């Protein structure tokens, strides 16, 4: 029986690339989404990967959604926490709602998905959790105190949970993407985007499949000795 992988935010952008990469590896993939049902259905028709709608920031919805995936696809062996939103603004203009919603989904979603799946991975003595952080969680970014804090929290969450899972054969790692040519980045004003690209040594935006290849490695048997690690895929934008 093939491993079962769940990719949150898995029907578009980076998530779509990850879903396809894991399917190509022979895994049974379930793609979560929260918003656009038409896009999700088009994704399923195009790829054959089933989609599951639930809000990763809603604890009860995650528990129910993962239980449905278990019943329809199988026990969940791999989780890729990719779902995320932005609500950008400088601090003195940022509302509590903008702060809380980003934290609830981007960071809270990692907790909720782990609560729903980590116990089963421990019992079966095998699991892979890959959390998608961000270069802006490592280096910070003007106008993104909420997003940077949530993504930075993901990197700490990864290291702590990795210590809990290690003796059970469950690895927990993170990817820190730079700026990738997705709808989220396309929403950045052109003059701002030009300045961002000028600071990327390779001189371009990244591609979703480049992030997906990093995720795919973490999900293999070859990565058994890799846990608590963050892989930066950012074209050299942030080095440390």
For residue 10, give the 3-state DSSP assignment. coil
Return the bridge partners of 171, or none: 128
Per-residue tokens: 54: 């639930």
For residue 57, give the 3-state DSSP assignment. coil
Interaxial angle between packed helices 13-24 and 37-47, expressed in degrees from 0 to 180 and rounded to the nearest 10: 20
Question: What letter does residue 27 receive in the DSSP assignment?
Answer: -
Annotated active-site residue in 27, 52, 142, 147: 147
Q: Is 147 a catalytic residue?
A: yes
Alpha-carbon gap, residue 220 to 29, rounded angstroms: 14
Report, as residue numbers or ranges, the catalytic residues: 147
């Amino acid at each position: 029986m093939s491993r079962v992988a769940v990719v949150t935010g898995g029907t578009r952008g980076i998530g779509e690339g990850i879903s396809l990469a894991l399917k190509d590896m022979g895994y049974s993939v379930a793609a979560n989404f929260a918003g656009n049902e038409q896009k999700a259905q088009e994704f399923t028709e195009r790829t054959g990967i089933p989609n599951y709608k639930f809000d990763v920031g809603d604890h009860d919805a995650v528990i129910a959604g993962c239980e449905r995936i278990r019943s329809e696809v199988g026990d969940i062996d791999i989780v890729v926490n990719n779902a995320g939103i932005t609500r950008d603004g400088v601090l003195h203009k940022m509302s509590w709602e903008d702060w809380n919603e980003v934290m609830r989904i981007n960071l809270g979603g990692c907790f909720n998905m782990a609560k729903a799946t980590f116990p089963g991975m421990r019992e079966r003595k095998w699991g892979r959790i890959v959390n998608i952080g961000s270069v802006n969680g490592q280096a910070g970014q003007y106008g993104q105190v909420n997003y940077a804090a949530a993504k930075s929290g993901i990197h700490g969450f990864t290291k702590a949970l990795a210590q809990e899972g290690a003796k059970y054969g469950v690895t927990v790692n993170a990817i820190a993407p730079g700026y990738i040519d997705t709808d989220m980045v396309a929403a950045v004003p052109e003059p701002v985007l030009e300045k961002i690209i000028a600071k990327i040594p390779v001189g371009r935006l990244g591609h979703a499949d480049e992030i997906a290849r990093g995720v795919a490695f973490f999900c293999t048997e070859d990565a058994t000795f890799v846990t608590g690690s963050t892989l930066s895929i950012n074209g050299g934008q942030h080095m440390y």
